Each structure stands twice: as structure tokens, then as C-alpha cells.
Chain A
Amino acid sequence: MADNNASDNSAGQGKGSNGRGNAAPNKTDAAAPTVEPTVKARRSRFLVAARPLPGVQPMAVDAIATTLNNMPDVQIIKQVKPSGFGAFSAGGGGGGMPEIVVAEMDPARGAALRASAPPNVIVEHDALLRHADDLSMAFNNAMTMSPGIGIDVRLRVVGTSGQPLPKATVYVYGLGFPGQGVTDDRGEVTVTVFGGPLETIQAIYVKPSANYWDRMFERPALSDGINTLQLQPFSATFQGFPGSPYVGWGQQLMKLDQLDPSLTGQGVKVAIIDSGCDSGHPQLTHVTRGMDFTNNKDGASWARDTMSHGTHCAGIITAATSGQLKAVRGFAPMAEVHALKVFPGGRFSDLIDALDQCIASGIDVVNMSLGSSEASELVAHKLIEARQNGVACIVAAGNASGPVQFPGNQPSVLTVSAIGKLGEFPDDSYHARTVVPNMVAGAMFSPRFTCFGPQIGVAGPGVAIVSTVPGGGYAAWDGTSMATPHITGMGALLLAHHPVFRDAAKARNEQRVSQLFSLLASAGVRYLGDPTREGVGVPDLQRVAGLGAAAQSGNMATASAAPPLSGTMSFGVPYQGSPFANAYLQPAQMIHPALLQSFLQMRNAGLV
């Protein structure tokens, strides 16, 4: 239901055009030039019959059949005549068994028929029967095994021109545990699922390896043969992708596209503690520093990103134009990026080692799109030490739809939740399933997965975020992991170019980290009205006082003049529930950096 509503809402928000030619495809577009017939939604069977009521003339079965026949999207499968003793009384008005019409139709049509049926007509779902005998076996009260044998679902994943798409991950959801497989070079995969016939398959989810939208096929009509699943390329949505300049919706929301292009983050050191970074990607060749904490601090294997997660985060932070490839605009393409690899298999001890490395190498801002359901006192101490050494840790809140996870729940870090925007993804993609109807505000929404709580400092774009993946491609992913690098990237820009970090303020200490977090918070724009889900909102580069002046004087390493003092300011109301020291409920109002610094000094002295 959430997905249908999301689709409706997005259509209402002018879906299909966002003012930059980045039209999100609608279902019609997605189904357009089809080379091979793709899997369609499965129809449902309904039973329609007269309901015997005392004193009411039952509706004749012919009238029912005629009504159904006149509906172009309804197909009558058969009519079931009563037999046995009940048959003798049928039609006699004595309450016997009526004749039943079995018809196939869209589930929505069936629901509408049932809702509108007069009292003397029965409409009900012709549900699949299950085994009455309990053949399931319990193992240690933890796992039950469904009766029945496995069925093979044969699938082929293709693009719009019918070309096979290898390395796509396919999930098949039936009555039991989902089946999973990866397509071969022909785009084909056979997935075995248990628990029932093909008609019990609830959904198929296809996650392409790169350059295509994912797609959710609900109630697929499957055959015993090969079933073709068609995906939509990014190039059908974003004109000229990946050769033409593309600025993601998240970067646009934060006004990166309106920033002076001379502001590139040069001079700032950014660390990404994640799964490494494929520096072979044409847009990430400038990432040349890293360390692999899963491999004895190896100095080369950090560039092998087997999970793609770190490469995706890196693209958001630092992707640079490379020849014909302009597909992703990173926030800080000239920043010095260090890829610190802790995945797969990372533990708290690896995180401590990585943070030690950040402190030792003078990292300015760290992206941590990671966490744990457990807490660590040692990691918490290390995060405090990092902050005291001027290392700003920006951490994802988590995707558990619950309280903020560790270490995002620590007061020493800036914690980022995810926010989404309607109309930026296809209706039949998994992204659409992250929409919850009652958490939509205008075009923006709080996705169902994001963690929430008073620890949320800011929100970042985190649904359908297109960024780099290993092998030179691109993928659209969801998560607070994707929201966090937006904030890290903006933080790198501010550290490199904002006047508040000039001269004495460049000293690597706790105050500098506080100033950075305050500056990010001061630029927040709230979209949802719920600080537990968006903190002070999504930072907007155009709301950062003084950054425009920095563009005229280059980065802070060479800047010589402070921005002119002008304008009025307001500190807003401190958000008492947040451990984030200087969060405000009225971030839209600009705070002059000099006044902000004075305020922070007074605050540190306990005067305010």
C-alpha cells in the first residue's frame, strides 16, 4: 500500500520532470520499447455467486456472468454448478448452494467488485488451498521446514533492447524463505524456492550490477519456461547518462549545482572508513591513498572493493569529471581522500585502528556509513579522542527503522538520517517501497528504513542515490550510508573554503569540529517537521554565510580576506533533546561565522 500511495503522490508532484531533464520514468515509459515480453503482474481468481437471502430474490447467475463479461479486464474461467442434495434446492429460494462463476481479474478490480457488491451477491477471493496436515518439522523451535518440493523459477534479465544483463542479483519471494541467484553471461538464472507452486510467488526483486534501475515485480505471472524480466537503464531517465553532466537530486537539494565550481575541497583530508574504493573507476582515479585493515594494514588491497559500498560513498564525496564521464558530481573532487577498508568482516578493533590512522594522518573529516547493534566503550573513547584532535566524524544513523545505532548515538559525532524525494525513482523500483504514506511532506519523505531519535543532527539525501560502483559503472542505492557522504562532502567543502576555519581556527582541536558541525546545522532546512527524523534538516550550501566570499578568494590555504560583516542573525532555539551541541530549530536563518564563534566561546565558558 505504501508503494501505491507513493506512486500516486509522486504523480501529484509533477513526476516525470524535475526541471533538469532528469525525468523519472513512469510505468508507461518503463514498459516502452519491449523486445521480449517481460513478466506481467499475475491476476487473481475470484468466486462470484448469488447470496440466498430470505425474502430477497437471488440474482440470476446469467446476470452475474453477463455483468462480468461486460468488463473488459475480467475473464470468466468456468462456472461451477451445484450438485448433490443442495442442487435440488438451489434456485428454489430455499437457501441451497448457488451456481458459482469463477473469474480472473486484477486484484484491484476484484477488491472493487467486492466492495460494491449488492447484498444478494457474494464476491470472494478464490484462495489457494494449503495442506491440512501439519507436515512441518521444527528444529530447536527456531526453524520450520515448509512441506512440498522445491520449484525452479527460470528467469532472464534483459535491458530495453533485449540485451542480457549479467551479474544481476535476483530474489524470489514465495511462501517460505526467499530464493536468490545471480544472472550469468546470458542474463539467465534459475532460482529454487520452496513452499508452493509458481502461483504462490509473491514478488521478484532484481538488483542490477550497474547502470540500470532495480525493479520489483509483484505477483508475477510466471511460466515453467524462461521468464523475461526487463530493466530500465539510467540513460532512459537521465539524458546522456553517463556522458552528460548529471547532478543528483541530493546534490541539487543541497545546492551543490549552484556552488562556485572553483570550490573543490582542495586542501582537506577526507577519510572513508568502509569497504575500500575502486580507484580504477574513471571518476575516482584521484583516490590514491588508503589502507586495508582487513588485510594487515595492506597499502594496496584497499582498492579492491568487493562490496561496492565504499566506492558508492566515495563517488558522492569526491567523484571528479573524467574525459567523457561526468555522470556523478562529487562534493569535493579535489579533496585528499583516504580509503580505510574495514569491510568485509570489520569489527570494533578494526574501527579503532582506522580511527587511530585518521588521527595520525591528520584527517579533517571522516565518513562512517557503518555501525553495530552493539555498543563499544573503547570505540566511544576513540571517537572522543578523534574529536579532540580535530577529526570530525560524520556517522550514519542506521537502517533498522528504530533508535539510532552505535556509534551514531554517541555525542562526539554528527549523526545523519536519510531523507527521500518523490519522483526521483521509478514506481516499480524498490526505492518506492521505502515510502511510508504518513511520513510524506510535500515532495519529501522520511524513508521507512532510517533510524531516528534525538541524536539525529542533520538529514541527508538517502533514497535512489546514483553514484559510482566498481567496474566503472553506477548504481542507485538507498540508506543512511548514502545520506552520510552528502554531509561529509559538504563538511569537506566548508573546512576547505569557509572563512571561519582560517588562521587560528584551523588549529586541529575539538573547537574546530564543533564549529564545523554548527555550521552544517546552521544551514539546515527542515522538510518533515520532525527533529527526531531529520535533526535540523538537510544542510543547504546557499545558506552558509560567507561561503560565497570564499569562492572569490580561493580555498582557505590561500585566502587572505575575511568576508564582509553584514546582515542580521538569529541563533534560533537550541534543540534540547539532541546531544549535538549546537543544533537549532530555526536553521534557515543565517548565522554569521564571527558571531557564531563568539557564541560558541561563551557556550564553552558556560555563559550561555
Chain B
Amino acid sequence: MTDNFATNGSSDEFIVAGRSASDTSQLTAFEDALKGISGASVVSRGGRPDQPHLVVNLPLQDAEQLKSRFGTALIIERNAKLSPF
């Protein structure tokens, strides 16, 4: 289910949102952290103004590190594809 390949390995699409809707500072910090990761990019910004989320492309190994770092404040999960049944 890997969608893209970055130079340092496979990457995938992730959706990121705050566990607390009122606190968006962690989402900003996450976006700042992305800037230092090769192959990472913001695909889109979505959600309601009071519930923003980011869709990002991330190398898989970096995704795990970011989950460790931001996991208590942010939900970071694979933006998996849906299937019609």
C-alpha cells in the first residue's frame, strides 16, 4: 500500500490532527518539524477551522519518529485508501 518512494526509502500519506481541538500549537510544531525531513511534504490542509488537520507525505521511518515525538498531542495515522463495497 505504499504510495510513493522517497530517496531514503518508501513513503506514505499520513493524516495529522490534534487530540485536543483547542490546541493547534502542536500541529504548528509538527509542520515545523517536517521542514527538516528530506522527502516530507504537506499534501493538503483540511478540516474545519476549529478542527484542522494536515495531510502529509512522509518517509515511513520518519513517521515513526514523529509519532514518538508528537503522539501524546497529535493523532498521526496512515491516510489509507477507501474501497467501495
Contacts and interface: CB of A to CB of B under 8 A. Distances in A.
Interface of A: 274-275, 307, 309, 342-343, 345-353, 356, 369-374, 376-378, 396-399, 405, 479-481, 484
Contacts of B80: 347-348, 372-374, 376
Given A356-B48, A378-B17, A378-B53, A348 B79 contact: yes
A369 B84 contact: yes
Give the most central of A377, A378, A397, A479: most B CB within 10 Å. A378
Contact of B47 (A274, A356, A479): A356
In this complex, the interface size class of chain B, counting residues with CB under 8 Å from chain A, is 20 to 34
A82 B13 CA distance: 68
A455 B68 CA distance: 32
A349 B55 CA distance: 7
Contact of B46 (A343, A352, A399, A484): A352
A569 B43 CA distance: 55
Contact of A370 (B47, B55, B79, B83): B83
Interface of B: 13, 15, 17, 44, 46-48, 51, 53, 55, 75, 77-85
Given A349-B46, A349-B53, A377 B77 contact: yes
A342 B53 contact: no
Dominant secondary structure at the B interface:
strand
Give the most central of A343, A347, A374, A405: most B CB within 10 Å. A347
Nearest to B48: A356
Given A347-B80, A373-B83, A377-B75, 5 more contacts: A274-B84, A371-B85, A372-B82, A378-B15, A405-B85
A144 B16 CA distance: 39
A374 B47 contact: no
A396 B77 CA distance: 23
Contacts of A484: 85
Nearest to A480: B85
Given A377-B75, A378-B53, A378-B75, A345 B46 contact: no
A344 to B, nearest CB: 9
A396 B85 CA distance: 7
Nearest to B84: A309
A129 to B, nearest CB: 40
A345 B15 CA distance: 15
A144 B56 CA distance: 35
Contacts of A352: 15, 46-47, 53
Given A347-B13, A378-B17, A371 B79 contact: no
B84 A370 contact: yes
B20 to A, nearest CB: 12
A342 B44 contact: no
